[in-house]
Chain A
Amino acid sequence: MSVVVPGQYITPVYKLDESSQRPLKFSPGRGTTISDITTDTNTTKSIPVITSTILGTVHIKQIDTDDKEFTTSIVTVVPKGQTFIEESADTETSINLPKENDVVLIRITRISPKQVFGEIISVERANGSGGNILADSGVGANGSTAHASMPPGSATTITQHAFNQSTIASSSTTAIQVPDIGENFRGVIRSQDIRSTERDKVKVIESYRPGDIVRAVIISLGDGSNYYLSTARNDLGVVFAKSENGAGELMYPIDWEHMIDIKTGEIEMRKNANPFV
Chain B
Amino acid sequence: MSDRRRILGPANTVTPNIPNSTGSRKPSATNTQSIPPFFLKHSIIENANGSAYLEIGNTLIEVSIFGPRPIRGSFVDHASVSVECKFHPYITPQPQASTFNSAKQTGRTGLTDVEHRISNYLEGCILPCLLLEKYPKSSIDVHVSIISTDRDDLKNNANLLWLMNWIVCCTSVAFVDSGIEMRDVITGGQVRLCGDKVIIHPDLEDDETDEPSVDGLLNFMNLKNDEIVGIWIEGNETDLSTEKMNQLVEECKKMSKIIRANINSYLINSFK
Residues of A within 8 A of B (CB): 3, 5-9, 31, 33, 35-38, 43, 46, 51, 53-57, 79-80, 93-95, 97, 134, 136-143, 145-146, 149-150, 152-156, 158-161, 164, 166-167, 169-174, 183-186, 221-225
Once bound together, how far apart are the Cα atoms of A31 and B131, in whole Å? 11
Q: Could you show 24 A-B contacts with beta carbons less than 8 Å apart? A: A5-B185, A5-B263, A5-B267, A6-B181, A51-B224, A54-B179, A79-B179, A138-B49, A140-B67, A142-B47, A143-B46, A143-B47, A149-B47, A150-B141, A154-B73, A159-B84, A159-B141, A160-B86, A166-B90, A167-B145, A173-B107, A183-B70, A224-B74, A225-B73
Would A170 and B110 count as touching, CB distance under 8 A?
yes
With contacts A221-B136, A224-B137 known, is A54 near B176, CB below 8 A? yes
Residue of A nearest to B176 (CB): A55
Asked if residues A173 and B137 are in contact (CB atoms below 8 Å), the reply is no
Known A6-B185, A7-B183, A155-B82; 17 more pairs at CB < 8 Å: A5-B268, A51-B223, A56-B271, A94-B179, A95-B68, A136-B47, A138-B49, A145-B47, A154-B72, A159-B66, A161-B86, A164-B145, A166-B89, A183-B70, A221-B75, A222-B75, A225-B72
B130 to chain A, nearest CB (A): 9
Nearest CB in chain B to that of A167: its residue: B86
Which residue in B89, B111, B181, B224 is a CB contact (below 8 Å) of A54? B181
A169 CA / B111 CA spacing, docked (Å) = 8
Contact digits for B136-166, partner A, Cβ 8 Å, 1 yes 0 no: 1111010101000000000000000000000
Interface size range of chain B in the complex: 35 or more
Cβ of B107 to closest chain A Cβ, rounded Å: 5
Measured CA separation A155–B73 after assembly (Å): 11
* Inter-subunit contact A169/B46 (CB<8 Å): no
